[in-house]
Structure 1
Amino acid sequence: MVAYNKFQPFSEALAEKLHNLGSDQLKIALCDAAHAPVAGNAQLSDLTQVSYTNLSSRNVTTSTSAQTGGTYKLTLADLVLLASGGSVAPFRYAVLYNDTAANDELIGWFDYGADLTLLSGNSFTIDFDGSGGALTLA
């Protein structure tokens, strides 16, 4: 499983009510190896994204958003990205962000270790860990 990396400003944005992880539309942005996200990035405009021509929807579905015993867990449905009608630009990083927030605030990213290219008809699944959750707050 690919590790989750948190954007540092996410903590403050969460504390200042910029996110409602249970109801806001979360989305994935893709970046290539030459344009890696860094922990200090705060909003989508801080990133250089790849072209999404020929790529399916990047909207993420929230399965559950709840706390038990004081620990909050956000569970997201796996996202299948599908190339159709041509290849998708190479990407290495899948960045989770809040598309509902005014500035598309960033949450975290996943590093796949090397650029990946989806050829037409190929798919790529982002596994958000259905049992452990995409993220937890204790």
Structure 2
Amino acid sequence: MPQLQKFQDFAEQVLRAKHDFGSHVFKVALTNVAPAATNTVLVDITQVSGGAYTAGGYVLDGVTLTEAGGTAKVVITDEVITAAGGSIGPFRWAVVYNDSSSGKPLVGFADRGDSITLLDGEAVTLDFDPAAGVLTLA
């Protein structure tokens, strides 16, 4: 999966303490409509609907924040999404957002490059780069 592109509002929201990568719950929502960099909250995203997809998406199980030498890095472990009880999609973009903050502010999105539909029992891995991390602040 390509690098996460941050939403423009994310930078301000970090400085306003809307995101705590040490304790908040972050999720990934799926969409087949290109997100705009100016989107700010989850309701701005047209999520896929029906089938085995539940509105709001999936909890990202492994979100960690580390710091070394004055550079902070957020790493997200790969997330496997499996269609169970129906299909999911089509979708092309994965949108990361903060489920713990009011309004569910957006963090960033990644473009798979093409739309896919998962049939019942099929899976896809959202491959977040563990070496580079998804966000860094130096």
With normalisation by structure 1, the TM-score equals: 0.92
Would the alpha carbon gap of residues 107 and 52 (structure 1) be closer, same or farther in structure 2, given more than 3 Å must change? farther
Moved over 4 A (4+): none
**1:63: Cα distance to partner?**
4.5
Aligned residues: 136
Q: Secondary structure at the match of 1:10?
A: helix
Give RMSD over aligned pairs.
1.5
Corresponding residue for residue 12 of structure 1: 12
Give, in angstroms, the shift of residue 105 of structure 1: 0.3
**SS in structure 1 of the partner of residue 67 of structure 2:** strand
Give the superposition deviation at 1:113: 1.2
Distance 1:20 1:71 in 2: 16
Q: Distance in 2 between matches of 1:70 and 1:40?
A: 29
1:54 pairs with 2:29? no
Q: Is 2:36 aligned against 1:75?
A: no
Q: Which residue of 2 aligns with 1:88?
A: 88
Q: Which amino acid aligns with 1:41?
A: N
Structure 1 residue 133 displacement after superposition: 1.2
Shift of 1:67: 1.2
Deviations 1:77-115 (A, max 9, x none): 110000012211200000000000101000000001111
- 1:2 equivalent in alignment to 2:14: no
Query: 2: distance between equivalents of 1:10 and 1:54?
Result: 29
Amino acid paired to 2:51 = T
In structure 2, stretches of 5+ residues that fail to align are none
Rounded to whole Å, the distance in 2 between the matches of 1:106 and 1:78 is 19
Counterpart residue number, 2:23? 23
Distance in structure 2 (CA, Å) of the matches to 1:81 and 1:87: 11
The match for 1:37 is 35
